[in-house]
Structure 1
């Protein structure tokens, strides 16, 4: 049996790799489309503070309860009970699993820029038959890699993370050289957008959250860490590195070309910006690194997707069959489960011809509640243990940030996410019934929560045509 564990550097690379996927290469256009430079600075300040305190929440929880493995699911379960723990796990798992399908689609769309022409479409938008075959091959190659051991997969991810970080640093250095203060200060308030600065700031919130999704990676794989103390440190280090890259890339881009020029760009917009600085070779470099980036993120997110159902199965929240490790310490049945779901989603992409953007955005909104629960659990834990005030304040600020991003997401995305939670609740009730020998044994608070979710589900169905329009 493999007893290899993940060290601090590989843990940090996992956090960084899962955050830096395809989003960073489209970040200049995404942000320029909704905000001017002033709103971007305010938005990044809010997000920077919030996400750092969220990372510190993982850090302090790992110190206060080092025996807890599984991250988002385990923390929610310990803090708020079985049902809330499951909902956190289900939302996170669905977000991760649907998200990694998006990574494969984006990767083959990127490959298409090298192979396709108007007369000959091979990979298209990642939704053609060759894309389906190539993506399916990657699904099962990564499955085989992770089945050999999480440590081995983390080592491959570390190498890929180093490769994909290089062009980001190159972009920042070139942007510093080509940066024009006059261009940056042109329409700094974003008046041409036609919205006040406060609304622009709000519109940046979901974008900035999306690019930080994956911050919990080290805690999810905490059972595989060489030292439990590395989990929180890797989370904070990954956040600081990613934050520095994100802020530099978005703000410096506004000093290369005017916001109005960047906003309508096709993505990955970083390719067009680099081409503006150094010519057509820059576009090819960014596209190649985008492919490497999303494939590296696919490895890390597949590990998370396999770990969460396994942890849930050990407590009866997921079917018992998922509670199995192979000889290398990999949750093998959970890995198979994730692989089959990804394969099914790829088939849907092929049959529908969709590029998957809408479902990806809906699924990502499901991470909002799990993130809020992390801060809330630290508040509960710190007051229960009478921890120092800095730990209590960390939990409070992280919780407030969680509430803010839920507000920024808006009611529409939350209602759509309720539709995806309902199948999970049915799975939870079935798993709990089997785990407890035919008894659900729901507590009063759990029954009340189920009634609230059922009411929201009915309302979401009623509003569905309007939500999808």
Structure 2
């Protein structure tokens, strides 16, 4: 079924999908997360590196949306167009699982935040918490079934609702900012100087990964855009706006509390910073703001998860049944499968000791692979000169540079994430690889030589991870 006119998304709605996907729980945890790793100098360097790397990725999305306008659901379609069916299949299923894990992290955090005021919710994984989270899960399911545009409109409202409290926090932080405290937090070590800055920056970069997840929001929903050229611009503008918020929240917090106090703040640490300036009501204010933010973030991820699965089914990569839509143009089968997987993950959290942190870091690990493939696809397109006219040599060179930086950045983030999460993500990617080979007939010609090598590497890593879990030297 084609997308109806009344389901088309405006430029503002596309930007809100990017902002709504990116602004979630991470921004409320930044003050303590950065303070534990580094001081002002290290934080500034880390944000410069992360900002440039992700800006290059945003520019790659913008370039691909203009150069390959026929491709819908960019996060998946670009990988497939650049490197074949296997890369596309792995990218779409991996990204879909990452979206589902992100939703689980949102649901757990919502209940954990309520647990600070109502003990029955505990850390978000008690029986009552899981039942309430399940009710919320299926309530959002019913909402989305009524139409993508309606759900996107609610996402826009939620995005505005969660940006206002962040703006309030920044205003309070400016008023309460103390230059002497900021100067005392300049270095992330007891002895002032540049020694150890590299290690501090490395540790801090890991914190930024989850904060940037969701940058692809407008690209995934490109088929709903009123004007296709809005997709790339919405991605870049949405990213720049969120980057400014992330940097401001981090830096102003260094001017409120000394690093030992800042690093000791419980999640959401922004609440502790607010309380230090205005008193106890500040903690309650931020906690309520966190609930609004994460609810909006959850809705955005639900939309992304169902849409990317549906798009892959429309072009034949996944079974055609997943492409079925209801009368309102909602990918109903994909939505049911998405929420069924979220429900399964949610039940598993009952037995997990650190459910929120695991879901958070696994989301980053799973989504970095599709990001890397998109960046590499952009580099391949620019390097080959495809879609570039002879008079566009300057644009082509710029495209090569941006895509090369984005590719190196995403690859570095995968490695900096550590062996643990690479192995755990292989446990999810290996069955996907096997499913692709089996679904294509299982013959030797299903994969090319290079693809067989990648498939073998992923399966080997999964076997090592399984052995590590059984032996106890690898844990979740």
Q: Could you state the TM-score of these two structures normalised by the residue count of structure 2?
A: 0.92
Aligned CA RMSD, in angstroms, stands at 2.1
Q: Quick check: 205-214 or 419-428, which moved more?
A: 419-428
1:461 Cα deviation (Å)? 3.0
Partner of 1:99: 102
- Alignment length, in residue pairs? 461
Paired with 1:457 and 1:24, the residues of 2 have a C-alpha distance of 32
Partner of 2:417: 409
Partner of 1:294: 294
Runs of 4 or more above 4 Å deviation: 351-354
Shift of the 193–36 alpha-carbon distance from structure 1 to 2, 3 Å rule, reads: farther
Q: 1:363–1:417: 8 Å Cα contact kept in structure 2?
A: no
- Structure 1 residues without counterparts, runs of 5 or longer: none
Shift of the 323–433 alpha-carbon distance from structure 1 to 2, 3 Å rule, reads: farther
Q: 2:437–2:446: 8 Å Cα contact kept in structure 1?
A: no
Paired with 1:351 and 1:190, the residues of 2 have a C-alpha distance of 37
Shift of the 106–309 alpha-carbon distance from structure 1 to 2, 3 Å rule, reads: same
Structure 1 position 425 matched with structure 2 position 430: no
What are the Cα deviations for residues 165-221 of structure 1, in whole angstroms up to 9, with x where unaligned? 011111111111111111111142211399811010011112112101000011011
1:108 Cα deviation (Å)? 1.7
Q: 2:23–2:297: 8 Å Cα contact kept in structure 1?
A: yes
1:368 Cα deviation (Å)? 1.7
What are the Cα deviations for residues 368-409 of structure 1, in whole angstroms up to 9, with x where unaligned? 221122221111112222452222211112112122212322
Q: Which of 16, 22, 27 is the aligned partner of 1:24?
A: 27
Partner of 2:400: 392
Shift of the 242–458 alpha-carbon distance from structure 1 to 2, 3 Å rule, reads: same
1:462 Cα deviation (Å)? 3.6
Paired with 1:43 and 1:186, the residues of 2 have a C-alpha distance of 19
Paired with 1:458 and 1:23, the residues of 2 have a C-alpha distance of 32
Partner of 1:373: 373
Shift of the 433–138 alpha-carbon distance from structure 1 to 2, 3 Å rule, reads: farther
| Equivalent position SS for 2:37 | coil
- Structure 2 residues without counterparts, runs of 5 or longer: none
Partner of 1:52: 55
Structure 1 position 79 matched with structure 2 position 82: yes
| Equivalent position SS for 2:440 | helix
Partner of 1:185: 183
1:227 Cα deviation (Å)? 1.0
The 5-angstrom pairing of residues 8-23 of structure 1 reads 8-23=11-26
Q: Could you state the TM-score of these two structures normalised by the residue count of structure 1?
A: 0.93
1:330 Cα deviation (Å)? 1.3
Shift of the 272–145 alpha-carbon distance from structure 1 to 2, 3 Å rule, reads: same
Partner of 1:137: 135
Partner of 2:251: 251
Q: 2:105–2:359: 8 Å Cα contact kept in structure 1?
A: no
1:433 Cα deviation (Å)? 3.8
Paired with 2:188 and 2:4, the residues of 1 have a C-alpha distance of 55
Paired with 2:178 and 2:413, the residues of 1 have a C-alpha distance of 33
Partner of 1:337: 337
Structure 1 position 279 matched with structure 2 position 282: no
Paired with 1:2 and 1:139, the residues of 2 have a C-alpha distance of 26
Shift of the 109–150 alpha-carbon distance from structure 1 to 2, 3 Å rule, reads: same
Partner of 1:468: 475
Paired with 1:251 and 1:110, the residues of 2 have a C-alpha distance of 24
What are the Cα deviations for residues 8-36 of structure 1, in whole angstroms up to 9, with x where unaligned? 11111111011111111111011111111
The 5-angstrom pairing of residues 60-209 of structure 1 reads 60-114=63-117, 116=118, 121-192=119-190, 196-209=196-209
Paired with 2:57 and 2:259, the residues of 1 have a C-alpha distance of 30
Partner of 2:451: 446
Q: Quick check: 408-417 or 25-34, which moved more?
A: 408-417
1:353 Cα deviation (Å)? 6.4
What are the Cα deviations for residues 392-438 of structure 1, in whole angstroms up to 9, with x where unaligned? 2111121121222123222332122111111222332344349xxx9
Q: Which of 457, 461, 469 is the aligned partner of 2:462?
A: 457
Paired with 1:319 and 1:260, the residues of 2 have a C-alpha distance of 54
Q: 1:274–1:283: 8 Å Cα contact kept in structure 2?
A: yes
| Equivalent position SS for 1:191 | coil
What are the Cα deviations for residues 434-456 of structure 1, in whole angstroms up to 9, with x where unaligned? 9xxx9973333322322222222
1:79 Cα deviation (Å)? 0.2
What are the Cα deviations for residues 24-52 of structure 1, in whole angstroms up to 9, with x where unaligned? 11110111111111100000010111111
Q: 2:104–2:359: 8 Å Cα contact kept in structure 1?
A: no
Paired with 1:42 and 1:246, the residues of 2 have a C-alpha distance of 14
1:354 Cα deviation (Å)? 5.1
The 5-angstrom pairing of residues 219-234 of structure 1 reads 219-234=219-234
| Equivalent position SS for 1:68 | coil
